[in-house]
Structure 1
Amino acid sequence: MSDDYLARIGTTIKEARHRAGLSQADLATKLETSQSAVARIEAGGQNLTLDNLARISEALDTELVALTRTSSSGAVHLKIEGGRTLSGAIDVKTSKNAAVALLCASLLNRGRTTLRNLARIEEVNRILEVLDSIGVKTRWLPDSADLEIIPPERIDLDGMDEAAARRTRTVIMFLGPLLHEFDNFRLPYAGGCDLGTRTVEPHMTSLTHFGLDVTATQGWYEAKVTGQDAADKTIILTERGDTVTENALMAAARHPGRT
């Protein structure tokens, strides 16, 4: 690869890491390499194989390499040689994005929530730590990947495990459910002020329709809820992102009007 191409890839990886709320050390741990190696990659000083890029893509949960169309018509040509007998079994991986979104959505439910076949991964564990700290009772059902969630009478945001919350960007999806519970609240976020300001803007744009005003300060989302009403809402998302869409859905779920 040319130096210019490596530099472009390095910049792309750095931006994806920032969006994921990870430090260079965090990414190095996921890749089982050193922080200095990550720094070289982001500076464009490290040759990368397709396998390297695939591992980095998986660690950052983002697509770094896309298949290029091979003709002006947009067709992608594949050659398949069949006639071979296949056998065996494949374990289907459950979705990390769906798992954490459903954990946040459980805050909307006044009763017991049971999530079946939940992905037992670190991101899920982090959100469970946050939920437990604010009074939500969670437990894995015996000999299964099923999780039971029981909300408290009143969510205790003052008791939130700040360290656990700062280890995941998913905490931003608490905004949609919590705007129905509190007039004022604050949530910690990971990644530093520059990340927070950029990341929170699409959420602010969509959730402001439900009376939520969010300011990203140094290390915190400061939220204030004013002017909630029952009027119908038409919302145009400024970003086609998973978390933005899910936040808007959760805010709309308990809005009395049509969204």
Structure 2
Amino acid sequence: MKSLLSETPNAQAGEKGMTGETLAIRGGRPLTGRVEVKGAKNLVTKAMVAALLGETASTLRDVPDISDVQVVRSLLEVHGVTVVDGEEEGTFHLDPSGAVAAHFEEIDAHAGASRIPILFCGPLLHLLGEALIPDLGGCRIGDRPINFHMDALRAFGAVVDKSYEGIRITAPGGLHGANIDLPYPSVGATEQVLLTAVKARGTTELRNAAIEPEIMDLIAVLQKMGAIISYEPNRVILIEGVDTLQGYDHRAIFDRNEAASWACAALATDGDIFVGGARQQEMLTFLNVFRKAGGWFDVREDGIQFRRGGALKPVVVETDVHPGFMTDWQQPLIVALTQAEGRSTVHETVYENRLGFTQALNQMGADIVVHPQGIDAPDRRVPRRALEQAAVITGPTPLHAADVEVPDLRGGYSYVIAALAAEGESTVRNVGIIRRGYEKFFAKLDALGADFDVVD
């Protein structure tokens, strides 16, 4: 009998603190049914931080009940922001009027392994003149240097001091507009610039900016608050600083990462899953690859239905920044590709360690060879990067049960789906990490007919 009592995330749990759960999964059964996706983790957490910039309270809707959201809520409350649940499920009212400075120890205790504290810098500098950043964590999928963030803050006039506790950032003369050219269209660095530039004196020009849908939705949030932001061709964003901002009322963009994950689960288990809340426009690139791999989908007004359209086919995929194929999409897709007839290749160009999860899939019977230095190919569209890797998946190979341990958020989801597609009973450990980005994960699996038990 399934136990869903542990669905509520622990607000103070970091990545290591959420690893105490194990699933016993009996596979070989298609996942069928309907799941709903709420707001995107990669927008909601940033919009919550943006509430610090307003002089009045903000309302954020479609907030998912995931641990990353609870971490940000705790951090806001440590800084004196009042966060109240609204009558509508998934609604937060955020009042920054009581905002105060916090100590390193408080921030560190509530942040856990999250990297969210770094995005508090700009708003806190505007509000309090100081920001503190403890050691940063996050999923162990590759190098995520903070130098992009620190260089951007220095360009705005901030002073960055390092200590044994972490990083102390001040702005003795206030923050001013800047000309910033990112060496890579980093989502986090783009968010940092946006959250800092909106109240900096003068105009900021950001070149080589990330343009993911979640970035555009954050810009919409800031514009509602009174910011003046325009998007120019060729990844250029112009921000004219304003003196004051007000609160916002905003419904978050849907989580396209979760939507793609359930779509891949339908492929891998030969199931039929309707993802309520998913939209076509933000998933165009994914849907093209899904169709090439043998998937079938039906776009409806309230979501998208996903299933196989016949035998699965091999594909070649290159991950890239938007509008390319997202790095978060490749892990669950690789599970499905183990059942495709032929040889698929996935070029991972965003993170250098994101293919390590394939070792466990090989233990389950997959035939995946990882090339640590990537693979040259004449038809490559994404420019090669020094850190890239490639995975060659040969299929179809029947998957069988195994005992595996979740390494990170997307890899962990992929292990669960692989176990559901495999014959026999698998043990998947450290599944708590998955709730960093998947709301009501156990309940959704149950609704789709998955056969599993929470064993600790």
TM-based fold match above 0.5: yes
> What is the distance in 2 between the residues matched to 1:151 and 1:160?
18
TM-score normalized by the length of structure 2: 0.35
Q: Which one-letter code corresponds to 2:95 in the other structure?
A: I
Query: Match of 1:213, as an amino acid?
Result: V
| 2:284 corresponds to | none
1:102 matches 2:47:
yes
Higher relative contact order (CA 8 A, sep 6+): 2
8 Å Cα contact 1:115-1:146 kept in structure 2 = yes
Instruction: Report matched runs for 1:221-240 at 5 Å.
Output: 221-228=167-174, 230=176, 232-240=177-185
User: What amino acid does structure 2 have at the position aligned with 1:175?
Assistant: C
Map of 1:146 onto structure 2 = 91
The correspondence of residues 47-196 of structure 1 with structure 2, limited to 5 A, is 89-158=34-103, 160-191=106-137
Which whole-Å CA distance do the structure 2 matches of 1:206 and 1:149 have between them?
A: 27
Cα distance between partner residues in 1 of 2:185 and 2:20: 29
Offset of 1:216 from its aligned partner? 4.2
Amino acid at match of 2:198: A
Distance 1:210 1:163 in 2: 29
SS state of the match for residue 100, structure 2? coil
1:241: Cα distance to partner?
Answer: 2.0
Structure 2: where are the runs of 5+ without partners?
Answer: 1-13, 24-31, 205-456
What amino acid sits opposite 2:67 in the alignment?
A: E
Distance 1:26 1:239 in 2: 32
CA contact (8 A) 2:126 2:174 kept: no
Secondary structure of 1:235's partner?
A: strand
Distance of 1:229 and 1:222 partners within structure 2: 16
In structure 1, give the amino acid aligned to 2:101.
D
Preserved contact between residue 141 and residue 147 of structure 1 (Cα < 8 Å): yes
Distance 1:229 1:191 in 2: 27
CA distance in 1, matches of 2:118, 2:165: 12
Report what 1:82 is aligned to: none
Task: For 1:96 and 1:198, locate their aligned partners in 2 and report how far apart those are by CA, in whole Å.
Answer: 18
By how many angstroms is 1:26 displaced? 5.7
Q: Which amino acid aligns with 2:123?
A: P
Unaligned runs of 5+ in 1: 1-21, 34-86
State whether residues 177 and 251 of structure 1, in contact with CA within 8 Å, keep that contact through their aligned partners in structure 2: yes
- 1:188-245: CA deviations, max 9, x gaps? 23349xxxx9632110111112111324443412212244465x52211234222211
Aligned counterparts of 2:157 and 2:189: Cα–Cα separation in 1: 16
Instruction: Read off the aligned partner of 1:108 and give its amino acid letter.
Output: L
The 1:253–1:191 alpha-carbon spacing in structure 2 relative to 1, beyond 3 Å, is: same
- Tell which deviates more after alignment, 127-136 or 182-191: 182-191
The answer on whether the counterparts of 2:114 and 2:137 sit within 8 Å (CA) in structure 1 is: no
Which residue identity is paired with 1:204? M
Contact preservation (8 Å) 2:62, 2:91: yes
| TM superposition shift of 1:156 | 3.2
For the 8 Å contact 2:56–2:97, the answer to whether it is kept is: no
Give the number of the structure whose residues are more often helix, by fraction. Answer: 1
Residue 145 of structure 2 is matched in structure 1 by: 199
1:239–1:96 Cα change, 3 Å:
same
Secondary structure at the residue paired with 1:157? coil
- Tell me the TM-score normalized by structure 1: 0.59
RMSD: 3.1
**Deviation by residue 1:68-116 (Cα, 9 ceiling, x = unmatched):** xxxxxxxxxxxxxxxxxxx975523421111111111111111010001
Show the counterpart of 2:198.
253
- Partner SS, residue 145 of structure 2: helix
Deviations 1:117-148 (A, max 9, x none): 11111010011111112211001112411110
The letter of the residue matching 2:71 is: R
CA distance in 1, matches of 2:34, 2:131: 48
Q: Secondary structure at the match of 2:169?
A: strand
Task: Give 2:158's aligned amino acid.
Answer: L
